[in-house]
Amino acid sequence: MRQAYKYKLYAADRNSRLDRQRIVACQIWNHCIALHRRYYRMFGKHRSSSRLKHRIAIMRKYLRPEWQLLGSQSVQDVIERIDRSYERFFDWCKKRTGRRVAPPKFKKRINYRSFTLKQAGWKLLGDDHIQIGHCSYKFHNSCPVDGQIKTVSIVRDAVGEFWIVFSVLNEAIAAKQTVTGNTAGLDFGLSTFATLSDRITIQAPQPLLQLLKQLRKACHNVSRKKKGSNGRRRAKLALALLYRRIASLRRDWQFQTAAKHAKSYDVICIEDLSLQGMKALWGRKVSDLAWADFALILKWQGLKYGCTVVEVDRFFPSSKLCSHCGHIHEGLKLKDRKWSCPSCGIHHDRDANAAVNIRREGLRLFAVRQHEAGHRLREKAA
């Protein structure tokens, strides 16, 4: 099981070396993008990453010795990032389905966030110190790293602070909770964050809405300042701090809520939403509720506590389907929050009815997958 641990680095005055390495990574990124584009104009095809790695290695040795500040494996990771981005773009060009994927572009130094160290270039010194190159750095060890560390990423956020992210491979199976026998369907909504099939509602704090006045004032302060001035730099820093506070409040609530429900249920069924279409209709509120982030956190908490999360297809008519008789009410509109089934006459709350239908469909999918997995195991044993 792959995990990630994120810690904040101390000694901001000593992080200038890390910042120079990040700038070098940005320069290599932009140089590789330029080479890719020129190669495509000349020959009409993609340049392989192996040839690009060889060229950058020669440049680091003879033409750009300042690039040697960044380790060789970190340089290779920059090239591999670009290669993965082009692969996703070419796959989208072939299929032309889903959200449009753009090719990698040039990046400004201020927008280039991180570089990654693999097997070499770093060494743990105790519980809260790490050596990167020839320098030692202290980080806030909020929880112990459990597992084999595969990569170490140095990330600079919009505030200018540095964070260290360990990507860990943990072979140990997560300790499962006592089986509760409870299953639930979860229907996301705008009036309430989510409704469970047992009619429990979840209300989200919406931190962006709570701090919207402060956010507008901070944005106005940035726009009033002269470009390039120290006042504008301080105003942008205050704005970045406010954005980070909003994200932290939202993420903290999501983790607490996801852990609570992962401990309470054995199987949770959720719906797969078209968030891009919903953002076009409702905009800021959809981003503030952050259903996609909550779904990812819920899956992670499910792995941790032994809860299975099943996704139901977005085209399943969970709201229109009567949970009592199975009739599909085609005339149901979005504004109809309560409705009566034309077939059996049962009165439904829209969100609670959808949650019940999501639970049934999710359990059906879960049973089918369990049957297919058992069939594959029997075939392999035979």
The span from the CA of 52 to the CA of 208, in Å, is 43
Name the band, by pLDDT with cuts 50, 70 and 90, for residue 171: low
Mean pLDDT of 169-185: 70
- Residue with the bigger pLDDT between 311 and 279: it is 311
Name the band, by pLDDT with cuts 50, 70 and 90, for residue 176: low
Contact 243, 250 (CB under 8 A): no
The span from the CA of 336 to the CA of 288, in Å, is 24
Per-residue pLDDT for 8 more than 70?
Answer: yes
**Environment class of 179 (CB within 10 Å of its CB; exposed 0-12, middle 13-18, buried 19+):** exposed
Contact 139, 130 (CB under 8 A): yes
Tell me the three state secondary structure of residue 214: helix
Per-residue pLDDT for 55 more than 70?
Answer: yes
Tokens of 76: 């290779």
Q: In terms of DSSP bridges, do strands 267-271 and 308-312 run parallel, antiparallel, or are they unpaired?
A: parallel
User: How much is the pLDDT for 59?
Assistant: 95
Radius of gyration of the chain (CA): 25
Reference 137, options 157, 123, 158, 151; nearest CA is 123
Mean pLDDT of 252-260: 95
Per-residue pLDDT for 170 more than 80?
Answer: no
Name the band, by pLDDT with cuts 50, 70 and 90, for residue 12: low
Reference 10, options 171, 147, 141; nearest CA is 141
User: How much is the pLDDT for 177?
Assistant: 58
Amino acid identity of residue 226, one-letter, is K
User: How much is the pLDDT for 65?
Assistant: 94
Q: What is the pLDDT of residues 309-344, one digit of tens each?
A: 999 998 898 888 898 888 888 888 888 888 888 888
Mean pLDDT of 56-62: 94
Per-residue pLDDT for 366 more than 70?
Answer: yes
Name the band, by pLDDT with cuts 50, 70 and 90, for residue 160: confident
User: How much is the pLDDT for 219?
Assistant: 95
User: How much is the pLDDT for 1?
Assistant: 62
Q: What is the pLDDT of residues 124-133, one digit of tens each?
A: 888 788 898 8
